[in-house]
Every structure is written in structure tokens, then in C-alpha cells.
Amino acid sequence: MVIVYSGRRITLDVSKVMLPNGHEMNVEKILFPRAIAALPIYENNKVILLRQFRPAVNEYVLEIPAGGSLRRTRPPEHALIRELNEEIGGAETDHFEKLFEGFTTPGYSTEYILIYHVNVKKLGEPSLSRMRLLTG
């Protein structure tokens, strides 16, 4: 492993690897922590999305609430509740279930995400950052 860059959220590794077929290949890999995301549904049919400015693409994009790094010592549901509190303001939920667990872009990244469907009973007050807007 050759660390080329290590920043606040990602690390870039450029290494030579041996493929299963015996060939060697230089691989550029972004090392990224495990993450959590929610598909929050409110009043049985309204999906809660965030309109968030993303400097990497220099525009606002619609996203489901996501982020945070998962701690292997705590259940993922703790991170899910923490993210919902941060992103949509302490929403009261009465049901959640895992929809997806896996790598997001395995061609160049180790980012691994768990996505949950969340039934939201009551919305709280979001703590909007300079880059985030709540969209219903």
C-alpha cells in the first residue's frame, strides 16, 4: 500500500496488485469509511430528500440522508438515528429495515454503505448547514 494522499474524509492509495489471473496491475484506490443512509418515507408516500450543494460537481443535488462513519463497536442503527437527527432534525420513526448493504463504487473505492427504509412518524427541525436544504 502506497498512501499518496490522506485527507479529512478519504485516503488515496496507489499500489501494484496481483490479479486472480496472475497479472499485475497498478490500482488507484480511494479508501473510504463505511457509511449509512436512509430512505425516509413520511405520511406513507412522501420521500424526504435533501437538496445539498456539492462542491465536487459545483451544483445542488438531491440526495437521501447519508453520511457518518459506522463504528464497528456499535449497531448500525445507532449511526442511522444519529444521521437522521443531523439531516432531518430528530424525526420520530416507528419502523426501519435494511434495503441494501454493499460497495457503492468498487471499481475505485472501498466505500461500503448500508441503506435503510425508514418510516417517519413526525418530522423535527433540521439543523441546516450552509450546503443543505430540506426538500419534500
| pLDDT confidence tier of residue 88, bands split at 50, 70 and 90 | confident
Q: For residue 67, what pLDDT is reported?
A: 84
Q: How far apart are CA 131 and CA 136, in angstroms?
A: 17
Percent of the chain with pLDDT over 90: 57
Q: Are 114 and 100 in contact (CB under 8 A)?
A: yes
Neighbours of 88 (CB within 10 A): 24
pLDDT (tens digit, 9 = 90+) per residue, 112-129? 999 999 999 888 776 656
Element (H, E) at 96: strand 92-103
Backbone phi and psi for residue 82, each to the nearest 5 degrees, phi listed first: -60, -45
Mean pLDDT of 93-108: 94
Question: Maximum CA pair distance of the chain?
Answer: 55
Backbone phi and psi for residue 76, each to the nearest 5 degrees, phi listed first: -60, -25
Q: Across all residues in the chain, what is the average pLDDT?
A: 88
**Which has the minimum average pLDDT: 29-33, 86-90, 108-112?**
86-90
In angstroms, how far is the first alpha carbon of the chain from the final one? 44
pLDDT (tens digit, 9 = 90+) per residue, 47-67? 999 998 999 999 999 999 998
Q: For residue 127, what pLDDT is reported?
A: 64
pLDDT surpassing 70 at residue 14:
yes
